[in-house]
Structure 1
Amino acid sequence: MFLIRYQEIGIKGRNRYLFENKINSNIKKALYPLGKGKIKITNMRGRILVALGDAEPSKAAEYLSRVFGIATFSPVIKIVAEEEAIYQSSEAVMRQALERKGIKLGENDNVLTFRTNVKRADKTFPIRSMDMAARLGSYLLDNIPGLKVDLHNPDLSVSVDIRDGNAYVFSEKLPGPGGLPLGTSGKGILLLSGGIDSPVAGWMCMKRGVEIEALHFHSFPFTGEKSKEKVKDLCRVLARHNNRIKLHIAHFTDIQKSIQKSSCPEDFRITVMRRFMFRIAERLAAKNNALALVTGESVGQVSSQTLENMTAINEVTKLPVLRPVVAFDKNEIVEMAQKIETYDISIQPYEDCCTLFLPKVPITTKPSLDKIHKAEESLDIDEMVNDAMEKIETIYITSNS
């Protein structure tokens, strides 16, 4: 059994129930492979109680740690909120924690520091929180030799959450990813290149409740199956938080060749190419009820990511463009990629469509819109976009597919 805590959901107003319903649904979806429908979820004020049935607790903890909206969670013992029962259960939880840590008190003068925490949300419980915490600490000192109180930096804490006539006793507080429940903030199309930045951007939007569908631009035969598989692997990591990710693969070779053969100046080609990507992404968003585009752009990181280039690229879409890492430096993005476990995949040496078609001359950093429009004059934009849309391949990716 787990007691789940959230943060942002707790400060919502009259629509709070929508967020609670969504996180409940996401928890059920995350744990379904373990319990096959036997998982029971109960909402309490500011908490969610998950009864696992016969599901494996360690596996359930792994899955819960990926559910956006969960701030922290704890494996708990649930008992009736009576003083003696709290003492006995807290002693059992303490002994389990000692065994888990491999600590044998009393041997070689081993001493363990601890503290007790009591939260009394149920005011019908007759003992105030501070008084109950003091009594519980005294009980544990009397019954488990080798303990020593340390209120500031203890080796171990035993906590009791009293609510609705029950007490929940625990010694661990495990971290969740935080944020908002996935699906409460609409849907976005993630332009997923296969590099370091875009998977981080996708993860960060997911943390804010945005459901993600990925769009990858593939330039066969210049980029091969290994490049495509790399993108699928990135989607598998992101799918850990969503059970599955919808991956759209746009065949981009013809568009790139047309740009190369056109009168478009070489230093404008990357900007023009990205404008085509945004046009296709916008069309895909309309088809799939998405409300925004998501990219991994960071101001000034490369020549095509100046504010002037971003403005020129944005011109072709009416949708908001979310750039979660826009103010991150590369080291910060790398640290986040390592944290979410996409970095090792992203650095695999398979080139994407952008790197293969880099011009020999420096990319313009300050393109004017007039020059961009002139560069596109010889291109049949609508026909090129329509052709790319007709060839899009869609795959559903799960974390273990």
Structure 2
Amino acid sequence: MLRYGEIFLKSPPVRDRWEKTLINNIKEQFPDSRIWRERGRIWLTGEVVPEKLSRIFGLVSFSECTQCSYDELPEVSLDYCRKAGLDNAKTFAFRVKRVGNHTLSSQQIAEKLGAMALDIFPHLQVNLGSPEKEIFVEIRDNRCYLFDHVYRGAGGLPLGVEGTLVALVSGGIDSPVASWMMMKRGCRIIPLYVSLEGFLDAATLERTEAVIEVLRAYQPDLELVVVRDGYLSAAKDVLLKEGQERHTCLLCKRRMYRIAAEVARVNGAKGFVTGESLGQVASQTLDNQIVLTEAASIPVYRPLIAYDKEETVSLAKKIGTYELSILPTGGCGAVPKKPATKAKLEDVRAMEDRVIGSVDKGVLAIPLKDYEQRVRSNKK
């Protein structure tokens, strides 16, 4: 029995469409299972791995059920109590929920089933507040479903209902968490790693690839896009000559924003995601984020904007990326000792203009030729 949450709030046409998307996502993970839906529930039969099911966005919880007809409920419930281990418990309670018309109320059914269980297990005591063992019964017209455990799902919206976003990822703690958060809000993600030629080592890319492998458990078709770019080397030479090295990170990130926008255009994505949080590092001050955002031709999503580092670390541990994200790498060799914290947009634009006038024009082109070829190959 699979349960969803926010889908309930949508209009009937949207709800129908989102339920179908959720079912397709479940089929992607369990292709050999049978899936169907009815009035707020999705049913799945076959070999089910709870760990995989818990990573499907849109599901708030799920339970492994024993089913029977309404007439069979008294007999089946006693057998279920034996299998559920009531003989080893001290207190218990039946929790009954109904959909449809029945002669008895939910409370009356629970009292009846509880009395029958006490006849078989006289050592038990009913405790409706905090029982040691709970038996849940969901009655839907003439069908009854019994379960004793509710597994927690990933929650959020079904993956894909909100479209696609590019995600700038570095393999560090923040960007994988930001990507995961937008997945949870129904966005399929295209992870993008911009390799700053001459400033990032192979270990950084390897760490990013390992992190993406973890996120693939939440989005099976996830594929890392790697764009190798030589712009920063040329830009940094100009900045060093002008004594403006403190603006290096801003020019670099504005370049990344433009690359992300182009990858989004090629794929029909609706924006891109970053792991930026307000004031966490020099390039993330309010002043500097204004400078960065101006370079974006499409929407920029920053789900971690109001998170502190401990909150982000907690989420990284929850989704399984933290241990990989803290693996040692050489870091970025272009970061200045004293980066600018309150850059002015007009100054940064002027620096970019001087870079344009000082370098080979081939360096300024967004280097997506190989990537575009791969996209076309995938579409075949």
Q: TM-score, normalised by structure 1?
A: 0.87
Structure 2 unaligned blocks of 5 or more: 376-380
- For the 8 Å contact 1:114–1:154, the answer to whether it is kept is yes
- For the 8 Å contact 2:159–2:184, the answer to whether it is kept is yes
CA drift at 1:286: 0.3
CA drift at 1:255: 1.2
CA drift at 1:146: 2.8
1:95 paired residue among 82, 86, 94: 82
1:121 corresponds to 2:121:
no
CA drift at 1:385: 4.7
1:40 paired residue among 4, 28, 34: 34
**2:44 aligns to what?**
50
Deviates more, 1:326-335 or 1:237-246: 237-246
Structure 1 unaligned blocks of 5 or more: 106-110, 397-401
Q: Distance in 2 between matches of 1:27 and 1:327?
A: 32
Please tell me the residue identity of whatever aligns with 1:364: A
2:351 paired residue among 375, 380, 383: 375
**1:300 aligns to what?**
279
- For the 8 Å contact 1:113–1:148, the answer to whether it is kept is yes
- For the 8 Å contact 1:279–1:385, the answer to whether it is kept is no
Q: Distance in 2 between matches of 1:269 and 1:368?
A: 14
> Where does 1:211-290 land on structure 2 (aligned, <5 Å)?
211-220=188-197, 222-252=199-229, 254-263=230-239, 265-290=244-269
**1:108 aligns to what?**
none
**1:17 aligns to what?**
16
Q: Distance in 1 between matches of 2:173 and 2:321?
A: 7
Mark the CA change 1:383 to 1:317 in structure 2 (over 3 Å): closer, same or farther: farther
- For the 8 Å contact 1:250–1:393, the answer to whether it is kept is no
Deviates more, 1:295-304 or 1:255-264: 255-264
**1:139 aligns to what?**
116
Q: How many residues align?
A: 368
SS in 2 for 1:240: coil
1:71 corresponds to 2:60:
yes
Please tell me the residue identity of whatever aligns with 2:27: K
CA drift at 1:204: 0.5
Deviates more, 1:136-145 or 1:265-274: 136-145
**1:6 aligns to what?**
4
> Where does 1:341-352 land on structure 2 (aligned, <5 Å)?
341-352=320-331
**2:378 aligns to what?**
none
The superposition leaves residues 278-301 of structure 1 with CA deviations (integer Å, 9 ceiling, x where unpaired) of 000001100011001101100000
Q: Distance in 2 between matches of 1:71 and 1:185?
A: 18
The superposition leaves residues 203-243 of structure 1 with CA deviations (integer Å, 9 ceiling, x where unpaired) of 00000001000001223554343322211111111110111
1:316 corresponds to 2:292:
no
CA drift at 1:137: 1.1
Q: Distance in 1 between matches of 2:280 and 2:343?
A: 17
CA drift at 1:383: 4.4
Please tell me the residue identity of whatever aligns with 1:153: S
- For the 8 Å contact 1:266–1:359, the answer to whether it is kept is yes
Mark the CA change 1:394 to 1:143 in structure 2 (over 3 Å): closer, same or farther: farther
- For the 8 Å contact 1:249–1:393, the answer to whether it is kept is no
Please tell me the residue identity of whatever aligns with 1:369: L
Q: TM-score, normalised by structure 2?
A: 0.92
Root mean square deviation, CA, Å: 1.9
The superposition leaves residues 71-117 of structure 1 with CA deviations (integer Å, 9 ceiling, x where unpaired) of 010000111122xx21222223322222xxxx863xxxxx4211111
| Percent identity for Structure 1 against Structure 2 | 34
